[in-house]
Chains A and B, each alone.
Chain A
Amino acid sequence: MDGPLRPTKRPRLALFELASCAGCQLQILNCEDELVDLLQLVEFVYFKEAISETGNEYDIALIEGAVTREADETRLRAIRERAPLVITLGACAHPVGIPGLKNAHDSEEPGRLVYGDAAGYFPSTLARPVDAIIPVDAHIPGCPIHKDEFLSVVTALLVGRRPPIPGYPVCVECRLAENPCAFDRGALCLGPVTRAGCGALCPSYGSRCYGCRGPADDPNVSSFEALLEKNGLNAEDVLAEYVLYNGYRALGDQALTMEVSR
C-alpha cells in the first residue's frame, strides 16, 4: 500500500438515501473481500446501513434514490453545498428507476394505494432524478449497482481519472458474449438504447434488457422505436417499455420522443 498515487489523507465519503430499496448500499457492503482495502483508501462518515456515527464534513457525497418529496430537494441542495463531489448510485437516483413508475399514474393514486386514508400525511411529488435538482459529477448506473463498478469508480476518482463507465449500448457486450439476440426469438429488448457495463447480464441468462442502466450516451431513439413498431408494438407499448426504469425520461425528457397523454 505504498503506491505514489495514494492520497495523503483519506477522502471522506457520506452516503445518503432517498426513495429507494437500499439495494445499492448493500452492494457496497457486498464488497466483503475488498472492504478492508477500501477502508484504507476512504473513510465513511455517514452510511446508515453500516455505521452509526454521523459526520457533517465530507469530500464525496454518494446519493441513492429518487427525489419524491420537497424535503428531499432542500436536503440535496445542502449536500451539494458541502460536497466537492456528488455521485449518484443506481437507477433510482438516475434516471429515476422503480420510483419513477408512479409518474405514469394519476398523481394522487400511488399515495392512496400505499397509505389509504392517511395518504394526506405523506405528500409526494413526481419522482425525479437527483440531477433534476442539483448538478451531479458522476452516475454509477444499474439496479442495483455492481460492486466492481463502484470500486473502479472510487479508484478512478482517487487517482484523478474519468470513471470508466461505458457510453455505448448493451448490444456491444451482448454480442461479445455470443448470446442469441432476443429479437431473433420474437422478444423485445432495450439493449440497443441502454448503457452497457453490466456485461449484458440479463440477455446472458436468456432474458432481455429492461434498461436498468438508463440510456446510452448516443441512442438512436427514432430508429429503435421504428424497430419496436416493426415488431408489432404501438406507440403506447413502446412507451410502456421505457417506463420500468426510464419513467422520468419517457415523461419529461426529449431524449425519448414519445408523447404521453394522461
Chain B
Amino acid sequence: MLDRMVPKADLNRFIDRLASEQTVAAPVAEGPSIRFQAIRAAHEIAEHYLPTALPPSKYLLPVKETLLQFRLGEHIEMEPVLEAPEVIVFGIRPCDLHALALLDAIFIDDKHDGHYAARRRRITLVGMECLEPCDDRCFCHSMETLEVHANYDLLLTDLGDDVYVAVGSPKGRDLFAGLTGAREALYEDRTRLRRAHEARDAAFTPRLDVSFDQLPGLLAESADSLLWDVLGEKCLSCGACTNVCPTCYCFDVGDELDLDLATGRRYRTWDSCQLDAFAMVGTGESFRKPRAMRVKHRLNRKGRYIMERYGRQGCVGCGRCARACLVDINPIEVFNQLKGQPASRTVR
C-alpha cells in the first residue's frame, strides 16, 4: 500500500476532527504519569513519552470485563456480554505493537477468544516510531522490537515538520483517505525516512549481553541459579511488573451475585503470577509459594516459555517492569547476570 507524507499541522487538524467524531485514545501526560486515554484534540497528546503506565492491551483485554450475565433458577439462564467499542488507538510505540502482535497470536490464532477478537476487530492501531531510546531502562533494540514491519494500520515517523505515514492495512488506508494536505511518499521522502532510521539505529546501544534468541537457552541453563533466591528475597510480590507488562495477559474469572441471590455476572480481571494466590488450588496449596519461584517463573515466561511456544518475543524490552519495581528488579540486569554467572548453583 502506498505510503504518505503529511505536514504535521495537517495531521494535527486531522486528529482534531477524528477526535470530535469518534473515540481516539492517545498517550496523555497527567503529572508524572502517562496513560492511554480518550482525547478531544491533538494538543492533549504527550509529546515525548515513556511507555504508558498500562500498555495499550487494556483496550483488548480490559482490566475488568464482564463475560456473561446469568440468572439462577431451575435452569440457569446465561447470556454472553460482548462489548466492543470502536477505538482508534493513536501513538502506540514499536515495543507495544510487537506485544499486541503476540496477543493476537495467542487470543486469535491459537485460542479463539470471542471477547478479544470482537474488540480487536473494532480497534485501529496507529503506531508512532521511536527515534531515540525512551530512557535507560528500555532495551527494545536488544529484543529486536524497535523495528516494526507488520501489525499496524498506520505507522507514523516524525521527520520534523512532516510525518511519514506507512500504511499497513486497508483500514489504515481508508482512515487516512479523509486527510487533506497528505501526498504520496516520493523517493526523497523514503530517503529521509531511511536516514532517520540510520540515525535511530546509531542512537540505540545494545543493552543485553546475549541476543534475544539466546535467552531461552540461557534461562534453561540457569534453572538452578542462586540469583533466583537473591531476587526472591527482594521481591515484594506487589504485582506491579506484570500489571504494567504489555505481554502479560493472565486473568482470573469470578462471579458477582446480586442481592436477590439470583442474577449476576461472570467477569474476568487481570491476574499476576507474582501473587501468592495465583498458583493456589482448591485445597489451599500453592504450586509456586516461594517468591524465588514466582520471580523465576515470570522471567522465564518473558525470556523463554513464550518464545518456545509462539516463536515471538515474550518480552519486548519496554522497561515498564523495571520502572515500576520498587526494589529495582530489572530484566536487563537479570539476563546479563545470568549470562555472567551461569555456573552459580544452589541445592534445593
Contact = CB atoms under 8 A, between A and B. Distances in A.
Partners in one complex: yes
B322 to A, nearest CB: 13
A37 B259 contact: yes
Contacts of A191: 238
Contacts of B272: 168, 172
Contacts of A227: 236, 326-327
B21 interface: no
A176 B235 contact: no
Nearest to B257: A155
Contacts of A171: 236, 238-240
B237 interface: yes
A8 interface: no
A33 to B, nearest CB: 10
Interface string A1-22: 1111110000000000000000
Given A168-B277, A176-B63, A3 B262 contact: yes
Interface string B54-84: 1000000001000000001110000000000
Given A169-B236, A220-B291, A6 B275 contact: no
Contact of B261 (A158, A172, A218, A223): A158
A224 B72 CA distance: 45
Nearest to A193: B236
Interface centre among B72, B74, B240 (most CB of A within 10 A): B240
B72 A169 contact: no
Interface stretch (A120-128, A177-185, A244-252): A177-185
Q: How large is the interface on B (under 10, 10 to 19, 20 to 34, 35 or more residues)?
A: 35 or more
Given A37-B260, A176-B54, A178-B33, A168 B326 contact: no
Interface centre among A4, A164, A179, A220 (most CB of B within 10 A): A220
B342 to A, nearest CB: 26
A57 interface: no
Interface in A183-202: 183-185, 191-193
B31 A180 contact: yes
B271 to A, nearest CB: 9
A1 B263 CA distance: 9
Interface in B233-258: 233-240, 243-244, 254, 256-258
5 contacts: A6-B262, A168-B275, A169-B238, A171-B239, A172-B275
